[in-house]
Structure 1
Amino acid sequence: MEIGVDRSLCEANAVCLGFAPDIFDLDDDEELVIRPGAVPDDQVERVSDAIKGCPKNALFITS
């Protein structure tokens, strides 16, 4: 599983960070940063919850 973000929708409100802090972060400009590469197996459920919980529906699975 890999994750993408629609930056035109993302408000960087960090809801996803609350679900999966090992995968999501905010940079110094308060832009969403997603850990590159495939999501580790032990984080898949958390990331799935983050995608479902995104208030702007900005997150999606790319593969």
Structure 2
Amino acid sequence: MNPAPIKTPCVKVCFVDPAAGLCVGCFRTLEELGRWTKYSDAEREAILASLPGREAHYADQHPGPNGAVS
């Protein structure tokens, strides 16, 4: 029996904003990206729960045309 795949927020748009220290595709930190498969399910769920807030904060700090994330 194969183990269940690890849930990930990756959207295959990998660009790390060095000033923010975040991937602007999934909004994980460099540490989180590197350790993702090592985290427990609970740790990954906690990070996943924080991502919408990170995205909103990033969008507030980096508005593009018409308020979109640049």
TM-score scaled to structure 1, two decimals?
0.36
From the two aligned structures, give the one with the greater strand fraction.
Answer: 1
TM-score for the superposition, normalised by structure 2? 0.34
Instruction: Flag the structure with higher helix content.
Output: 2
Whose Rg is larger? 2
